[in-house]
Amino acid sequence: MEKVLLEKRGQVAYVTINRPERLNACDSETYATLASTWEALQDDNNIRVSILTGTGERAFCAGSDIRVAAEHAQFGLGEVLLGLLPGGGGTQRLPRLIPLGRALEMLLTGTRIDAAEALRLGLVDHVVPATRLLEKCDEIAQAICRAAPLAVEKIRQAVLEGRDQPLADGLKLEAELFDFLRNTEDSKEGAQAFAEKRTPNWQER
């Protein structure tokens, strides 16, 4: 049985961890397959958005966090109860996502939080019924696909590079990327399509 499934529908790729009997926990083979899958998708110019999910109803992926959550989802890092620490980056990423005190509580006790609390803390962006989980992910993916590809790319660059820089440097990066986009054909097409009340025809240049 394949541990990672890949399906492409239009400009969206669906990557599914396929180990429901192990609550979709990732072993070395699964991690390696996921890494090679992401690399292949990064080089696929036809794919604009990727959605990561897991098979079964008991767990998305044991020990991992997600962006859109079902109402019944729970989140936790229980390694401390096994005499370990979250070696996949949990001690570094969680305190960057939620308040330090709550991150330490979760890390030091191994207790879980429910989807509502994860939403309140900003660990997830949306909470929906399980039956609408993939539908909600699709809605977000399709909205991104409707946006200008170059603008999406440069916004991601501005956010991901700028967040680790002083504000002045981040604002300088933003200004440089804005100037780049302002001179693209797509920015002109976007303005013209808006004026003409039609769907833009993005050229990625």
Kindly provide the residue ranges of all beta strands, DSSP E only, lying in the chain, ordered along the sequence.
4-9, 12-17, 49-54, 68-70, 74-75, 113-114, 126-128
State how far the Cα of 153 lies from the Cα of 145, in Å rounded to an integer. Answer: 11
Q: Is the pLDDT of residue 33 over 70?
A: yes
To which residue do tokens 């200004």 refer?
175
Q: Is the pLDDT of residue 37 over 80?
A: yes
Query: Does 183 fall in a domain?
Result: yes
47, 64, 81: which is the final residue of a domain? Answer: 64
Query: Does 170 fall in a domain?
Result: yes
pLDDT at 59: 61
Average the pLDDT over 182-203 and give the result. 94
Structure-token pair, residue 196: 């003409």
Q: Are 23 and 62 in contact (CB under 8 A)?
A: yes
Residue 59 domain boundaries? 1-64
To which residue do tokens 């054909």 refer?
185
- Helix axes of 100-109 and 90-97: crossing angle, nearest 10 degrees: 140
Query: Does 81 fall in a domain?
Result: no
Q: Is the pLDDT of residue 75 over 90?
A: no
State how far the Cα of 63 lies from the Cα of 61, in Å rounded to an integer. Answer: 6
* Other beta carbons within 10 Å of 7: 10
22, 39, 64: which is the final residue of a domain? Answer: 64
64, 82, 100: which is the final residue of a domain? Answer: 64
30: domain CATH number is 3.30.300.220
Q: Which residues of 10-19 are buried (b: 16+ CB within 10 A; e: fewer)?
A: ebbbbbbbbb
Query: Does 124 fall in a domain?
Result: no
Which has the higher per-residue pLDDT, 32 or 8?
8
Query: Does 171 fall in a domain?
Result: yes
Q: Is the pLDDT of residue 26 over 80?
A: no
172: domain CATH number is 1.10.12
Query: Does 90 fall in a domain?
Result: no
Q: How many domains does the chain have?
A: 2
Query: Does 91 fall in a domain?
Result: no
Query: Does 45 fall in a domain?
Result: yes
Q: Is the pLDDT of residue 65 over 70?
A: no
